[in-house]
Amino acid sequence: AQKITQTQPGMFVQEKEAVTLDCTYDTSDPSYGLFWYKQPSSGEMIFLIYQGSYDQQNATEGRYSLNFQKARKSANLVISASQLGDSAMYFCAMRSYNNNDMRFGAGTRLTVKP
Amino acid sequence: DSGVTQTPKHLITATGQRVTLRCSPRSGDLSVYWYQQSLDQGLQFLIQYYNGEERAKGNILERFSAQQFPDLHSELNLSSLELGDSALYFCASSRTGSGEKLFFGSGTQLSVL
């Protein structure tokens, strides 16, 4: 069974600083994708970044990067130069190519301080 | 705007009642997913449809059912509602049935009183 673990219920970061949100996963499937979503207080789920299990390089999307360590089964999200608008819940998710559904971690609530 | 449309945005009802949540996927997407988000359970996968057929099932209660119609829109039916069913229900869609990211609707906030 797939399992996604986010061990940080809440994180604080100073504006303009970088922050790392942790995510570990467990799967026996060799082929899978890892995703991060942002959920602001308005409630919508916003896709941030994707990493395929066979990708050799860490994914980057603007200020977001994914620190992918396959042997350790971790997929940490790094947000650089934090902005006040980054305050939100962040969810790590995984989807294997053998299973059809996407499973989510419990989420981390990030608060950016001015 | 993700392109996924969910209606209604808010729904208030009483215990024992039945409600229907509706979802229109992004244009061209064949697969629809339903998730339930509550404070104590997080985001729980309920069920997935692909091109009208059920593809995967998660933690969906027997009181809940869903279907995907030929025009690819989907409905989630919740019956014999209980207080604990109060949650944010998301619909998401993807072009195919596996591997790729999901596009989420804005959700339906269900309150059972």
pLDDT digits (tens, 9 = 90+) for A9-49: 999 999 999 999 999 999 888 899 999 999 999 999 999 99
A102 vs B contacts (CB less than 8 Å): 33, 45, 92, 102
At B25, list the tokens. Answer: 């996927």
In the predicted structure, residue A72 carries a pLDDT above the cut 90: yes
Three-state SS at A36: strand
B1 vs B51: which has the higher pLDDT:
B51
Please tell me the distance from the alpha carbon of residue B40 to that of residue B21, in angstroms, as a whole number. 22
Residue A42's alpha-carbon distances to A22, A45, A80, B34, in angstroms, are 23, 9, 23, 19
Average pLDDT, rounded, for chain A: 94
Grade residue A96 by pLDDT with cuts at 50, 70 and 90. confident
B45:A107 CB<8 A: no
Calpha distance A77→A83 (Å, rounded): 15
Q: How far is Cα B46 from Cα B89, in angstroms, rounded to an integer?
A: 10
Check if B15 contacts A (Cβ < 8 Å). no
CA–CA separation, A31 vs A72, rounded Å?
A: 15
Is 90 exceeded by the pLDDT of residue B71?
yes
